[in-house]
Amino acid sequence: MGQVKFDYSKTAGYVHEHEVESMKALTESARKLLLSKSGAGNDYLGWIDLPVDYDKEEFARIKKAAEKIKSDSDVLVVIGIGGSYLGARAAIEFLGHNFFNSVSKDLRKAPEIYFVGNSISSNYLAGLVDVIGDRDFSVNIISKSGTTTEPAIAFRVFKKMLEEKYGKDGAAKRIYATTDKAKGALKKLADAEGYEEFVVPDDVGGRFSVLTAVGLLSIAVSGVDIDELMAGAASARKRCIENDFDNNDAMQYAALRNIMLRKGKSVEILCDYEPSLHYTLEWWKQLMGESEGKDNKGLFPASVDLTTDLHSMGQFIQDGSRIMFETVLNVEKTSREIVIEKEDEDLDGLNYLAGKTMDFVNKCAMNGTILAHTDGNTPNLRVDIPEQTPFYLGELFYFFEFACGLSGYMLGVNPFNQPGVESYKKNMFALLGKPGYEAEGEELRKRI
């Protein structure tokens, strides 16, 4: 069986072995800090042991709830933002049909799944109401804090819609609340209304929560084997915590990221060659961005979908400001093959590809691009994913989480807080006239 692997061999002309060598001690001390739970943000390290130490009773309840939703709903509405949304969406897109919500139910074998409460767009929300129409649906409202504005607004709308359709009691049986075990407005509401509740553990921050009920319920509804997902994460965990640097992909990746930053590369672009990985990149951006972007430091995490964006951003990556490096997610074996056929008249000039698979073409594009960008002084790292299966996705999630924790400590920041996110919220509340923010509101309005 393969495994998710990290490869930095293509940086050979740019990063020297002695530079990697000199990072080993720092990477090892960051790992010690993580595993001994003695570093900054050590209240939020529950994700480290999660794959082997999770609430089995709740896990079984998640599976049961998923079966119920599958049996009584045509649509599942998942309400959440940031860490309460991106992991589930990443997993469902990585593992599901590329046109998950559009294919027939026979192919999908699950309800349609839509994400909402991740913006404040009334247009988007109203559109989703149209999509549901008069069909049966359920709601999974997810908020660790239980007080985030975007999901709270969306929940009001879908809660009312459910209550009008099924009555208060019927609606309560279709609402699943994933939140803190004790505090927050959502917890209070869920208790009062009698919703089925799932817990976001205190010591797992939002962006590290995909393998808790936050991600697992909707992932299970989509038909994914969540035991396999956890097994993959457990297998990556073992390597991350036990192996030495030379056999430790997460340590090597963390080291290479920090070498790049120190050499003046301030942007890391994560690249995929499969549209179904788009949200994996989005999940990664929150993970890295919120963990490292603080104290005026950090790599800016960006992403491109390839080859799509080679026709838009490719010019800049090849030839623009030399501020970035790339990390390519390489799916080694495609889930579905298409062979390019021969045509009698070669009008489009493609007969030289006859008999080749589309994936062969995709891989040639990838390898050619890696070399071209490297030659253009955009160094390339690569993460190899054997196949798009739950097991390997579990490995991938854990690999990135562990590397993120290491990399943040090597940078000298607390990777597990996000104080900067509060500034916009404060201004928004002040402008909205939220009680308690009156004076700030007056000041801000003068500046608009």
Ligand X SMILES: O=P(O)(O)OC[C@H]1O[C@H](O)[C@H](O)[C@@H](O)[C@@H]1O
Q: How far is the CB of 280 from ligand X (least distance, A)?
A: 16
Using DSSP's 3-state secondary structure scheme, residue 147 falls into coil
Query: Whose structure tokens read 């960008």?
Result: 373
The answer to whether 39 contacts ligand X (rule: CB under 6 A) is no
Q: How far is the CB of 388 from ligand X (least distance, A)?
A: 25
Nearer Cβ to ligand X (51/83)? 83
Residues 199 and 181: beta-carbon distance below 8 Å: yes
The kind and range of the H/E element at 115 are: strand 112-116
The answer to whether 207 contacts ligand X (rule: CB under 6 A) is yes
Which one of the spans 69-77, 96-104, 144-152, 384-392 is the region binding ligand X (CB under 6 A)?
144-152
Which residue among the candidates 168, 238, 425, 426 is catalytic per the annotation? 425
Among positions 268, 282, 290, 395, the unique one binding ligand X when judged by CB under 6 A: 290
In the sheet with 324-331, reading across from the earlier edge strand, the strands are 5-7, 380-385, 324-331, 267-272, 300-305
Among positions 182, 371, 421, 432, the unique one binding ligand X when judged by CB under 6 A: 421
Q: How far is the CB of 298 from ligand X (least distance, A)?
A: 15
Q: How far is the CB of 421 from ligand X (least distance, A)?
A: 4
Q: How far is the CB of 151 from ligand X (least distance, A)?
A: 6
Nearer Cβ to ligand X (272/290)? 290
Query: Whose structure tokens read 């920090």?
Result: 258
Q: How far is the CB of 390 from ligand X (least distance, A)?
A: 23
Active site residue 425: yes
DSSP labels, 374-440: HHTT--EEEEEES-SSHHHHHHHHHHHHHHHHHHHHHHTS-TT--GGGHHHHHHHHHHHT-TT-HHH
Which residue among the candidates 290, 326, 395, 401 is catalytic per the annotation? 290
| Measured distance between the N- and C-terminal CA atoms of the chain, rounded to whole angstroms | 59
Nearer Cβ to ligand X (146/379)? 146
The answer to whether 206 contacts ligand X (rule: CB under 6 A) is yes
Among 412, 210, 161, 172, which Cα is nearest to 296's? Answer: 412
The answer to whether 335 contacts ligand X (rule: CB under 6 A) is no
Lay out the site mask for ligand X across 63-102 (x = CB under 6 A, - = otherwise). Answer: ------------------xxxx------------------
Question: Where does residue 156 rank: exposed (0-12), middle (13-18), buried (19+ CB within 10 A)?
Answer: exposed
Retrieve residue 88's tokens. 């589930």
Count how many Cα atoms sit within 13 Å of the Cα of residue 3 in the half-sphere of its side chain. Answer: 20
Residue list 145-174, contact with ligand X (CB under 6 A):
145, 148, 151
The answer to whether 293 contacts ligand X (rule: CB under 6 A) is no
The answer to whether 117 contacts ligand X (rule: CB under 6 A) is no
Nearer Cβ to ligand X (151/232)? 151
The answer to whether 143 contacts ligand X (rule: CB under 6 A) is yes
Among positions 65, 393, 418, 430, the unique one binding ligand X when judged by CB under 6 A: 418
Among 378, 382, 388, 352, which Cα is nearest to 367's? Answer: 382
Alpha carbon dihedral 251, 24, 381, 215, in 10-degree steps, equals 20
Q: Which amino acid is at 395?
A: E
Q: How far is the CB of 159 from ligand X (least distance, A)?
A: 16
Residues near ligand X (CB under 6 A): 81-84, 143-145, 148, 151, 206-207, 290, 418, 421
Active site amino acids: 290, 425
